[in-house]
């Protein structure tokens, strides 16, 4: 196929798109919602417009079509750091040094750009909106979170009055120590189970 013929075919197949920063842009890709997996190619890597377009299409598929996974072709430490940031999971202390050097390897421009950073922040904010703030502390073990709230609620009445609490303990008032210690012991017993959930079983 000659260059002229190829260019002609591309002109016939090409479709004009609205501006990337308009709501109509992402809506133009609603037809992708019928698929289980959508690959956003890298033929235009290196351009701000491509990164912005990719982010807007991804947002649309997540918000309007129920997509739940964004898969990236990146090194594992970088991908894990992003995953933990988006989900607000604690970072693994043994890997902090690697995470501090995120996206320092070639090609740095592919991921270390403001369009991708903005998309990652959007993912985190979007995730936050899926679960009410009052319930986030219980996402690992909702039952245990409720029990902790019940036990620690005995201390909340003394907030800002720690001195008074200490004085009352010396008299006939019952201490909260037993409940707090029992709660800590239960959390320690389950620490391996929680660690497996938080760190994907590593």
More confident residue, 20 or 161: 20
The better pLDDT of the pair 26, 164 is held by 26
> What is the helix (H) or strand (E) element at residue 109, kind and residue range?
helix 108-111
**What does the DSSP 8-state code read for residue 176?**
S
Residues whose CB falls within 8 Å of the CB of residue 46, separated by 6 or more in sequence, listed in order? 109, 110
| Cα–Cα distance list, 88 to 27, 123, 197 (Å) | 29, 11, 13
**Residue 19 reports pLDDT greater than 70:** yes
Average pLDDT over residues 184-191: 78
- pLDDT confidence of 128, banded at 50, 70, 90? confident
The string of pLDDT tens digits covering residues 31-73 is 999 999 999 876 666 788 889 999 999 999 999 999 988 888 7
pLDDT range class, residue 98, cuts 50, 70, 90: very low
CB of 26 closer than 8 Å to CB of 57: yes
Q: Reduce the DSSP state of residue 19 to 3 states and report it.
A: coil
Report how far Cα 28 is from the mean position of its chain's Cα atoms. Answer: 26
Place of tokens 């899926």: 130
pLDDT higher than 50, residue 192: yes
The Cα–Cα gap between 100 and 27 comes to 36
Which one, of 139, 152, 147, lies nearest residue 178 by Cα? 152
Domain boundaries, the chain: 17-133, 135-198
Confidence of residue 20 (pLDDT cuts 50, 70, 90): very high
Tell me how far apart the alpha carbons of residues 121 and 136 are, in angstroms, rounded to a whole number: 18
Nearest to 115 by CA among 174, 62, 44, 188: 44
The contacts found for 61-66 with CB under 8 angstroms, 24 or more apart, are 61/29, 61/32, 61/33, 62/123, 62/126, 63/126, 64/30, 64/33, 65/30, 65/32, 65/33
The residue count for the chain: 202
Question: Residue 103: which region, alpha, beta or left (left: phi > 0; alpha: psi -120 to 50)?
Answer: left
Cis omega before residue 107 (within 30°)? Answer: yes
């Amino acid at each position: 196929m000659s260059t002229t013929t190829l260019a002609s075919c591309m002109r016939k197949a090409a479709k004009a798109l609205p501006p990337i920063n308009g709501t109509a842009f992402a809506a133009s890709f609603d037809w992708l919602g019928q698929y289980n997996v959508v690959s956003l190619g890298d033929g235009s890597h290196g351009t701000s417009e491509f990164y912005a377009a990719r982010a807007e299409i991804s947002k649309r598929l997540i918000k309007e079509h129920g997509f739940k996974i964004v898969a990236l072709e990146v090194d594992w430490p970088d991908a894990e750091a992003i995953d933990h940031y988006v989900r607000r999971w604690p970072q693994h202390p043994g890997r902090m040094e690697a995470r501090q050097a995120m996206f320092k390897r070639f090609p740095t421009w592919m991921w270390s750009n403001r369009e991708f950073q903005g998309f990652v922040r959007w993912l985190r904010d979007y995730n936050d909106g899926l679960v009410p703030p009052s319930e986030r502390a219980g996402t690992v073990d909702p039952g245990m979170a409720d029990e902790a709230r019940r036990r620690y609620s005995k201390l909340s009445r003394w907030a800002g009055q720690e001195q008074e609490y200490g004085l009352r303990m010396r008299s006939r008032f019952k201490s909260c120590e037993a409940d707090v210690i029992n709660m800590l012991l239960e959390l320690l017993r389950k620490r391996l189970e929680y660690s497996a959930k938080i760190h994907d079983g590593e």
